[in-house]
Amino acid sequence: MENFIAYNPTKLHFGKNVVRRLGKAVSEYGDKVLLIYGQGSIKRNGIYDTVMQQLVGIGAEVTEFSGIRPNPVIEDVDAAARLGRDKGVDVIVAVGGGSVCDSAKVISVTIPVTHSGWDFYAGTAKPRKAVPLITVLTLAATGSEMNSFAVVQNNRTRQKLGWGHELLHPRQSFLDPQYTFTVPRDYTAYGIADLIAHCLEAFFGEGDAPLSDKFVYAIIHEAVENGKPLLENPRDYELRARIMYAATEALNTMTFNGRRSGDWGVHDIGHVLSLLYDIPHGASLSLVYPAWFKFYKNKIPARIAELGRHVFGVDGPEQTIDAFESFFKSIECPVRLSELGIGKDKKEEIIEVMALNEVSGEHHRIPPEAYPELVELFL
Amino acid sequence: MENFIAYNPTKLHFGKNVVRRLGKAVSEYGDKVLLIYGQGSIKRNGIYDTVMQQLVGIGAEVTEFSGIRPNPVIEDVDAAARLGRDKGVDVIVAVGGGSVCDSAKVISVTIPVTHSGWDFYAGTAKPRKAVPLITVLTLAATGSEMNSFAVVQNNRTRQKLGWGHELLHPRQSFLDPQYTFTVPRDYTAYGIADLIAHCLEAFFGEGDAPLSDKFVYAIIHEAVENGKPLLENPRDYELRARIMYAATEALNTMTFNGRRSGDWGVHDIGHVLSLLYDIPHGASLSLVYPAWFKFYKNKIPARIAELGRHVFGVDGPEQTIDAFESFFKSIECPVRLSELGIGKDKKEEIIEVMALNEVSGEHHRIPPEAYPELVELFL
């Protein structure tokens, strides 16, 4: 086991109608609220009204910033930060999925400064303080609600990068599985692919961390057990709850404890595909992971087989890869780019932008000269 | 799944020589330090010197309170709190195992008040603030380093009670597995029994929480896999690390998420045995759990069997009970009170003090009229 620091101060409120406690939570930090959300689905499903009722109930002065895109961009982050700065907000309430939470995190550390939030990604600035952030989650996928990471896209530089900092932890997060009842079938499945990918990025990191491995098996097993039943019963509270909680645990860093690093190569490739073709994040992962497994099959057969044995009860690396591919197909997630109508003619473009984003992974490296071989496996 | 709040703000520093960062951590809270430890083993093994070096390095003014007993008593807590109050300390540093950590937690909320810390246990007072607490762990067992619970004994009222409050979380905890190299064979084993018991108290609580169940299997599996090897190789860093980390995860509340309650009946009986005969906490648990299993075998056979299937790969409740009993024996933990030289003539006394402590459990109740049957099973 490698040395590690385990630190996760986010207070998570999980369950039916927990948003009833939102107003009280917000009032711990002040009454000038920056409310951030996406493209308006929360107005259609009633979540906006519930949240506003809580904020009105504490007499909050609410400034809204909406329109955060599924693959969030830095322009929105900077615009929201300017607004929050101008209004002198005390607290941010973010209502949405991973893109809204991630954007809100970067907004929370950009409000106190005068430069672009992208400077944190470029490494030319470090955050010193954050406006307290509370999230209300509406999509089970990224785990952003209980970690200190945020992914943002910069269309100008053609980069989509992840960044982590202790200050990015939400202070509190509210997770009501009922809020995910109306998530469409495809995004429900992509969320499951995302949470499984997070577990895999930990599992294939560097360093022996046997208990963290066992947590990985537990969480992937939970996802596999409930994934297909949930697609068939999208308004089943227990199934929604089990997937939502699994997604949180999949990336609250517990699965990384005792490792020197994770291995984010697949995520990095996924980001490139999202950047180029606006592919939903989870879908980009279900299609790259099987290819990555095949690429690494002969290099780390024992590790891949160990995973399959514990999650699917199968024996051998081939069988493990088949099991993951079959599972992704069973929940209607793509495992080839062609399924999304993107042809083999894009190969060079993908390789070019992978190089621009310096895709490599951390432990099991993907050298640039191997890009063509790996890309070919998911075209 | 039941509604739950997940909140654990303790920052855990885990690994080789992490105590090198202790001075810096302490200085975040001030320089007047109350140093709490037990009966002096830390002076013999050099940990005291290392800690003092860190405190001297930041120019701290250190007040010491030592002599905390393995089964800690409220008189010591109150005396240490008076000392800390008189000295106006900014921060507490607790160096030891669960008894030292637990005592320090209660001291941290008793310093700001003028009454006894026992009033929190009696329910006649509620804490409003806590002096920041940093722990340096020297024994893998109780999980106290990363949770908000504390157990203290009151010899006058013949009670040994557990109590939890958000303010009891240590701010930071330092866990160097090397610090447990010199823990004697018997206490090493008792720590393993304790961590397994914590998982079981979650597992047999009320409410379906399938992912938390899977975490329970993972942690117990880790303990079972490494328990005997560790007794044979007490200075093996990896084995010490794996047990130390498993003990932390076993009671940092992760295994309780999604349950309405845990079930602390066995712990409560264990406390009675410790109170009466000064039995080490972990030993009291290894001897009561098999009895509790036998007592409940016909009432919840499927649940007991499920546990055995996932942890030991055995089939059936009898086989599960045998597997746990065999494992405890294999690490030389007692499974009968007679092994500790305590005879059957104590039966009435045990029953009397169980009644006084209102032992019942939370989910699978142990009614007073069933005490004789249950006690008979571990005599």
What average pLDDT score do residues A270-294 get?
Answer: 95
Per the CB < 8 A criterion, the answer to whether A69 and A39 are in contact is yes
At A224 the pLDDT is: 98
Opening angle at CA A35, ends A69 and A137, nearest 5: 65
The average confidence (pLDDT) of chain A is 97
What average pLDDT score do residues A115-129 get?
Answer: 97
At A160 the pLDDT is: 87
What average pLDDT score do residues B139-145 get?
Answer: 96
Determine, for residues A5 and B13 on separate chains, whether the beta-carbon distance falls below 8 Å: yes
User: Residue A158 above 90 pLDDT?
Assistant: no
At B160 the pLDDT is: 87
At A125 the pLDDT is: 97
At A276 the pLDDT is: 94
Opening angle at CA A167, ends A22 and A10, nearest 5: 40
What average pLDDT score do residues B139-146 get?
Answer: 96
* Cα B261 from chain centroid (whole Å): 18
Question: Reduced to 3 states, what is the DSSP secondary structure of residue A176?
Answer: coil
Output the CA torsion A349→A351→A353→A357 (10° steps).
Answer: 180
Determine, for residues B215 and A217 on separate chains, whether the beta-carbon distance falls below 8 Å: no
The alpha carbons of chain B give a radius of gyration, in whole angstroms, of 20
Going by DSSP bridges, is the β-strand pair A159-164/A149-154 parallel, antiparallel, or unpaired? antiparallel
Closest to B18 (Cβ–Cβ): which among A3, A13, A208?
A3
At B324 the pLDDT is: 98
Going by DSSP bridges, is the β-strand pair A172-175/A159-164 parallel, antiparallel, or unpaired? unpaired
Residue with tokens 């990985």: A216
At B97 the pLDDT is: 96
**What sign results for the dihedral spanned by CA atoms A298, A300, A302, A307?**
negative
In Å, how far is A202's CA from the nearest CA of chain B?
16
Closest CA to A211 of B225, B143, B198, B242: B242
Closest CA to B92 of B162, B169, B12: B169
Type and span of the H or E element at A304: helix A301-312
Closest CA to A99 of A149, A43, A52, A173: A149
Determine, for residues A211 and B217 on separate chains, whether the beta-carbon distance falls below 8 Å: no
User: Residue B204 above 90 pLDDT?
Assistant: yes
Contacts of B258 in chain A (CB under 8 A): 14, 241, 245
At A239 the pLDDT is: 98
At A75 the pLDDT is: 97
The average confidence (pLDDT) of chain B is 97
Closest CA to B172 of B232, B91, B290: B91
* Cα B83 from chain centroid (whole Å): 25
Q: Residue B292 corresponds to which amino acid?
A: W
Question: Reduced to 3 states, what is the DSSP secondary structure of residue B283?
Answer: helix
Between positions 191 and 210 of A, the ones with CB within 8 A of B are: 208, 210
* A4 and B CB contact within 8 Å: yes
Residue percentage of chain A with pLDDT more than 70: 100
Contacts of A242 in chain B (CB under 8 A): 1, 210-211
What average pLDDT score do residues A223-227 get?
Answer: 98
What are the beta bridge partners of residue A5? B13
A129: which 2 tokens? 């303080």
Question: Reduced to 3 states, what is the DSSP secondary structure of residue B173?
Answer: strand
What average pLDDT score do residues A182-202 get?
Answer: 97
User: Residue A85 above 90 pLDDT?
Assistant: yes
Going by DSSP bridges, is the β-strand pair A61-65/B32-37 parallel, antiparallel, or unpaired? unpaired
Nearest CA in chain A to B207: A238
User: Residue B378 above 90 pLDDT?
Assistant: yes
At A241 the pLDDT is: 98
What average pLDDT score do residues B220-231 get?
Answer: 98
Residue with tokens 């990918």: A197
User: Residue B103 above 90 pLDDT?
Assistant: yes
The CB-based long-range contact list for A158-163 (8 Å cut-off, 24+ gap) reads: A158/A275, A158/A353, A158/A356, A158/A357, A159/A121, A159/A275, A159/A356, A159/A357, A160/A71, A160/A271, A160/A272, A160/A274, A160/A275, A160/A357, A161/A121, A161/A271, A161/A357, A162/A264, A162/A267, A162/A271, A163/A106, A163/A120, A163/A121
What are the beta bridge partners of residue A64? A35
**Measured between alpha carbons, how far is B103 from B120 in angstroms, rounded to an integer?**
13
Nearest CA in chain B to A219: B211
At B158 the pLDDT is: 87
Task: Pick left, alpha or beta for residue B326 (phi over 0 → left; psi -120 to 50 → alpha; otherwise beta).
Answer: alpha
User: Model's pTM, two decimal places?
Assistant: 0.97
Q: Tell me, what DSSP letter sits at residue A58?
A: T
At A7 the pLDDT is: 97
At A41 the pLDDT is: 93
Determine, for residues A222 and B241 on separate chains, whether the beta-carbon distance falls below 8 Å: no
Type and span of the H or E element at B29: none
Mind listing the domains of chain A with CATH numbers? 11-180 (3.40.50.1970), 185-376 (1.20.1090.10)
A267 pLDDT tier (thresholds 50, 70, 90): very high
